[in-house]
């Protein structure tokens, strides 16, 4: 069982809290993994900046495991809050738990102005970080030993994550789910909550079976699932479209609108991804690779391969093999 602790202070912004809380709670709801999600803080009851009273805030834990997650939720950044006992108690807890000889590899994240609390706890020194665009200069001035960057949705530096706040907390939470449970899990969580699972310019490329999944069309997600499960399916045949109670022409049009690809193009991308993995992780012959990747013949495989790759399959295997010789 992993635990996710969302640290909540007075004046908390509701969306800063609700976004990550919803995303992380969905992991267990969908049966993806065992993740216990708790709101914790110095005070058992707090009032959000939006006027909502929040109760049943658990006490700050005395122990946090290396596989756990701590998310510091942003609050309305006011001088009274930063001088309050709750702020001091939270900063002391973070410092005691995660710095010096007590430092762990626990993943620690901050939404919006939560970065200021991480900074006061000494967790941002020498780190890349970000916060809401309105507070970039203030964070730079308050934390001169941190590298504060702007125009970023979120930033990760080893085990420390920070986000720009508000809706960006959802993006960061989804990425944390991907880091812990995998891309497929994050896409399932995103689909359940009808939000896009976005990749950014410096992010690793998604495998083809997870690409083109940021849309919200349940029919096309079902079609993509079917193609992934049967790479030999005749996606252009009438019976394939009819299994989804739709015509071939209408399916092709909607699929292209939602994904930017035709069903056949999506299927070929998945076939090629499977072929690459089999070539690099097995000793199967090219004939076996083509068959297991859904191609009707070796000739069809080689024709597709030559259009997408610059080296022949045998050379690709030698250059990228993961098998120890």
> 6-65 pLDDT, tens per residue?
999 999 999 999 999 999 999 999 999 999 999 999 999 999 999 999 999 999 999 999
Q: Rounded to whole angstroms, how far apart are CA atoms 172 and 167?
A: 9
The number of folded domains in the chain is 2
Does residue 206 fall inside a structural domain? no
Report which of 19, 15, 37, 18 is spatially closest to residue 27, judged by C-alpha positions: 37
10 in the same domain as 147: yes
186 in the same domain as 41: yes
CATH number at residue 253: 1.10.10.60
Does residue 199 fall inside a structural domain? no
157 in the same domain as 38: yes
Q: Rounded to whole angstroms, how far apart are CA atoms 168 and 115?
A: 13
Report which of 206, 186, 207 is spatially closest to residue 196, judged by C-alpha positions: 186
Does residue 18 fall inside a structural domain? yes
142 in the same domain as 48: yes
Does residue 207 fall inside a structural domain? no
pLDDT for the residue 325: 52
246 in the same domain as 182: no
187 in the same domain as 223: no
Does residue 158 fall inside a structural domain? yes
> Percent of the chain having pLDDT more than 90?
78
Neighbour count for residue 196 (Cβ, 10 Å): 15
Model confidence pLDDT, tens digit, residues 156-204: 999 999 999 888 999 999 999 999 998 889 988 998 998 877 755 555 5
Model confidence pLDDT, tens digit, residues 103-116: 678 999 999 999 99
DSSP strands (E only) in the chain: 2-7, 35-40, 46-47, 53-54, 69-72, 107-110, 128-129, 147-148, 154-157, 160-163
Model confidence pLDDT, tens digit, residues 191-223: 899 887 775 555 555 666 667 877 778 899 889
Does residue 302 fall inside a structural domain? yes
User: Hey, CA dihedral for 175, 181, 185, 190, is it positive or negative?
Assistant: negative
> Percent of the chain having pLDDT more than 70?
94
Dig out the tokens for 67 from the structure. 């596989």
Long-range CB contacts for residues 233-240, cutoff 8 Å, separation at least 24: 233/267, 235/263, 235/264, 235/267, 236/263, 236/264
Q: Which residue range forms the structural domain that includes residue 42?
A: 2-192
Q: Rounded to whole angstroms, how far apart are CA atoms 235 and 237?
A: 6
Q: In the chain, helix, strand, coil percent, each to 5?
A: 50, 10, 40
């Amino acid at each position: 069982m992993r635990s996710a602790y969302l640290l909540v202070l007075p004046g908390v912004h509701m969306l800063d809290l609700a976004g990550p809380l919803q995303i992380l709670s969905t992991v267990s709801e969908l049966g993806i993994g065992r993740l216990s999600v708790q709101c914790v803080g110095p005070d058992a009851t707090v009032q959000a900046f939006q006027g909502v009273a929040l109760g049943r805030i658990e006490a700050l834990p005395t122990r946090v495991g290396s596989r756990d997650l701590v998310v510091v939720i942003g609050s309305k950044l006011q001088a009274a809050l930063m001088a309050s006992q709750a702020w001091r108690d939270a900063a002391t807890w973070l410092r005691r738990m995660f710095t010096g000889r007590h430092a762990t590899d626990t993943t620690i994240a901050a939404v919006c102005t939560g970065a200021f609390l991480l900074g006061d706890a000494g967790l941002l020194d020498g780190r890349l970080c970000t916060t809401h665009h309105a507070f970039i200069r203030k964070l730079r001035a308050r934390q001169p030993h941190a590298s504060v960057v702007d125009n970023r949705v979120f930033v990760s530096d080893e085990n420390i994550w920070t986000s720009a706040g508000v809706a960006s907390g959802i993006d960061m939470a989804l990425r944390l789910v991907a880091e812990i449970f995998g891309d497929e899990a994050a896409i399932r969580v995103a689909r359940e909550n009808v939000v896009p699972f976005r990749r950014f310019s410096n992010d690793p490329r998604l495998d083809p079976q997870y690409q083109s999944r940021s849309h919200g069309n349940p029919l096309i997600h079902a079609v993509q699932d079917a193609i992934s499960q049967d790479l030999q399916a005749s996606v252009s045949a009438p019976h394939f479209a009819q299994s989804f109670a739709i015509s071939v022409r209408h399916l092709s049009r909607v699929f292209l609108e939602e994904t930017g690809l035709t069903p056949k193009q999506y299927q070929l991308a998945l076939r090629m991804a499977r072929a690459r993995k089999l070539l690099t992780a097995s000793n199967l012959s090219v004939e076996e690779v083509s068959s297991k990747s859904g191609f009707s013949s070796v000739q069809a495989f080689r024709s597709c391969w030559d259009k997408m790759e610059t080296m022949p399959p045998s050379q690709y295997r030698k250059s990228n093999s993961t098998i120890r010789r």
